[in-house]
Amino acid sequence: MEALIPGLFSLPKAERLSGRTAVSDLFSKGNWGGYGALRYCFRKGNGQDVNRIMVSVPKKFFRRAVKRNLLKRRIRESYRRQKSLVPSSAGIDIAFLYNTKDLLDYRTIYETVGTILKKLGDE
């Protein structure tokens, strides 16, 4: 069972990547990778003491907003529960991009996000 440490498993506004300049810097200067159905872009050293994430599910794959939002919720929840795999002092910006037409279940997305976070935590 997960420990009940306040703030450990939350995802506050400060941990969400937003703003045109921050997103464009991530995509232009970041490193790309992929695992399973997710592509990701990350950039270390965001100048803050928290890791920030962004999730994108293209309309090209899922025309209905209900399915896009479902997948975004699954990815964010997977990150929220496993964010301790990456030290927050690293200050990493991460963008997750869903990259398949298949509607994956939560368990598969959870394992994929976990593998990506372990990879980023080791670097």
CATH number at residue 52: 3.30.230.10
State pTM to two decimals: 0.88
The pLDDT tens digits for 48-104 are: 888 999 999 999 999 999 999 999 999 999 999 998 898 877 789 999 999 999 999
44 phi and psi angles, rounded to 5 deg? -85, 150
Q: Angle of helix 106-122 relative to helix 65-82, nearest 10 degrees? A: 50
Using CA of residue 112, residue 46, residue 26, residue 60, what is the dihedral sign? positive
Please count the structural domains in the chain: 1
Which domain, by its residues, includes 97? Answer: 14-122
The DSSP symbol for 41 reads E
In a domain, 7, yes or no: no
In a domain, 59, yes or no: yes
In a domain, 4, yes or no: no
Q: Which two tokens stand for residue 92?
A: 């990493």
In a domain, 56, yes or no: yes
Contact 95, 76 (CB under 8 A): no
In a domain, 1, yes or no: no
Average pLDDT of every residue of the chain = 89
